[in-house]
Chains A and B, each alone.
Chain A
Amino acid sequence: MIADDPRPSPGGGAPTALDTPRDPVEDHLAALGAALHGPPAAKARLLEELRGGLQDSVAAYVQAGVDRDLAAELAVRDCGAVDDLLPSCQHELTIAQVRQTARATATATPLLFGAWYLLHTTAPSGAWHLTHTAHLLATRLTTFTALAALLAFAVIALTGTLARWIPTPSRLPRTVAWTSTVVTASMAVCTLVLATTMPLTDHWPLTTLATLLTAASHAVTAGPARASRLCARLPVPALRP
């Protein structure tokens, strides 16, 4: 690697950070990495594959007799400018983010249902009740979350195998981003409602457990929802399958 072979500084002293030769490959990947947004694992995989391809390209040039520094520059040129690569790379990361957010929503919904199941079924009849307003609000939010879960499953299918036949709607990332945001907010409201009504109930251990479940649902969806909003705001050309 070029960075492993620092040239002596002009003054003859120990090389400083400014004297260290830049590696065009790493610079290119850093620039691309800074411009891309998406699930960390998907982004890391894409960049690792790109790094591998660039290293192979450098090795091929060196094997053909090209100087290593020039080989790195040629490999970066062959890879394409960041602006040229951004649309296709970001597209895949946006889809990956959409799928991750949908999975998070689908995962969190059973937690929320579990919480309400605990409250309404497990508790002995008549031994526990919420205030009327809190009950109404929670029921509405749970219904909305159920619909969001259905959407999540549809999104996973639409961006997976079904995308072979059905074009991915261009507004899907935005739809998923805002749906998941509302779900996250709903779960926060549910948590708040349960926490405030806790002192009014007869069976506080059950209410505490339900509160913890809704808080966990909120925690599962909050991060992906935030990342989805960021990806949905990025200017990406029309979605391919």
Chain B
Amino acid sequence: MRQNAVRGHLDGLLLAVLETGPLHGYAVITAVQQRSNGMLELRTGTIYPALNRLERLGFLRSTWEADGERRRRRYELTDAGRHTLAAERTAWREFTTAIGSVLNPAARPGLAS
């Protein structure tokens, strides 16, 4: 599951973990891993081009920050990113509801009685 599971949902996952505050790339990876109880693992190599793309689209903004001898690029959500995250959540809710209705027809509100 792990890596294949995030295909198609990477943007939403990245925006979601950045909703609580700015993070650098590796912290984004660990945040996704922790929130999913280790079920989802993002490759280090795929995260940075994706963050760059989201920044280009205006969903994120980033700044370099000194961290000892190193410097890290920290990403934070923009207003456009928040709107997109809300849209991603709505789309995901609708999708899971639709799939759930098919997989568990007995659970549909109209069929409960």
Contact = CB atoms under 8 A, between A and B. Distances in A.
B43 interface: yes
B24 A80 contact: no
A79 B45 contact: yes
A53 B29 contact: yes
Contact of B44 (A80, A88, A163): A80
By DSSP majority rule, is chain B's interface helix, strand, loop, or mixed?
helix
B58 interface: yes
B45 A92 contact: no
Contacts of B73: 45, 49, 52
B49 interface: yes
A160 B52 CA distance: 12
B58 A88 contact: no
A164 B45 contact: no
Given A50-B44, A75-B44, A55 B70 contact: yes
Interface residues of A, number: 31
B25 A160 contact: no
Interface in B41-75: 41, 43-53, 56-59, 70-73
A160 B58 CA distance: 8
B48 A46 contact: yes
Contact of B45 (A56, A85, A160): A85
Given A75-B44, A80-B43, A46 B25 contact: no
Contacts of B80: 161, 164
A160 B70 CA distance: 29
Query: Which has the most chain B C-beta neighbours within 10 Å: A52, A54, A78?
Result: A52
Given A80-B44, A89-B49, A53 B25 contact: yes
11 contacts: A45-B73, A49-B51, A50-B44, A53-B25, A60-B30, A78-B41, A79-B45, A80-B45, A92-B52, A92-B53, A163-B57
Interface of B: 24-26, 29-30, 41, 43-53, 56-59, 70-73, 80, 84
Closest 8 CB pairs of A and B: A56-B26, A80-B45, A85-B45, A88-B49, A79-B44, A79-B45, A53-B44, A80-B43
